[in-house]
């Protein structure tokens, strides 16, 4: 299949598919005229990548996951380890976002939000807030 069909069937833009080829995550064959020819295996890998990326895995993590996918002798513990690492990263990000939210909520609560120029939000952003 050509890149348009692969794009449609994988729900990935052609630009993304070309990028995945450029960084060697997929290796479609080339026809005599130079056009890419995507196999069912390429399509499966594209769907795999699309799902992994939607779960927050980085390109390098996707590369590791694809390597494990291709290894029939893989240990599921290796796959689980990558997933647990991603969960821990997500938990750290959630904690950071909760902290950011709490800080912004506190600043907003202390701001009168009226016509006066004094504003604890601006003061905090400028490093002038003592609280």
**pLDDT score for 67:** 96
* C-alpha to C-alpha distance for 68 and 51, rounded to whole angstroms: 16
Q: Which fold would CATH assign to domain 1-74?
A: Multidrug-efflux Transporter Regulator; Chain: A; Domain 2 (1.10.1660)
- CB of 37 closer than 8 Å to CB of 29: yes
- Residue 129 confidence (pLDDT): 59
* pTM for this entry: 0.80
Tell me if 15 sits within 8 A of 23, measured CB to CB: no
Q: What tens-digit pLDDT sequence spans the chain (131 residues)?
A: 999 999 999 999 999 999 999 999 999 999 999 889 999 999 999 999 999 999 999 999 999 999 999 999 999 999 999 999 999 999 999 999 999 999 999 999 999 888 888 898 999 899 885 54
Residue entry with tokens 């689980």: 80
CA 113 to CA 120: how far, in whole Å?
10
pLDDT of the residue at 116: 86
Sorted by where each begins, the domain ranges of the chain are 1-74, 75-131
CA atoms of 85 and 60, how far apart (whole Å): 13
pLDDT of residue 85: 96
- From CA 76, how far away is CA 78, in angstroms rounded? 5
Beta carbons within 8 Å of 64's beta carbon, 6+ residues apart: 82
Q: Of 18, 85, 17, which is closest to residue 49 (Cα–Cα)?
A: 17
Phi and psi, residue 70, nearest 5°: -75, -15
């Amino acid at each position: 299949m050509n890149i348009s069909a692969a794009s449609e069937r994988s729900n990935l833009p052609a630009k993304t598919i070309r990028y995945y080829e450029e960084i060697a995550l997929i290796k479609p064959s080339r026809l005599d005229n130079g056009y890419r020819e995507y196999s069912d295996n390429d399509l499966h890998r594209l769907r795999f990548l699309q799902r992994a990326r939607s779960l927050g895995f980085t390109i390098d993590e996707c590369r590791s996951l694809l390597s494990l996918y291709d290894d029939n002798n893989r240990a599921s513990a290796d796959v689980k380890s990558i997933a647990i690492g991603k969960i821990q990263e997500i938990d750290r990000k959630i904690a950071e976002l909760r902290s950011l939210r709490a800080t912004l909520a506190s600043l907003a609560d202390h701001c009168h939000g009226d016509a006066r120029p004094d504003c604890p939000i601006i003061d905090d952003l400028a490093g002038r807030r003592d609280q």
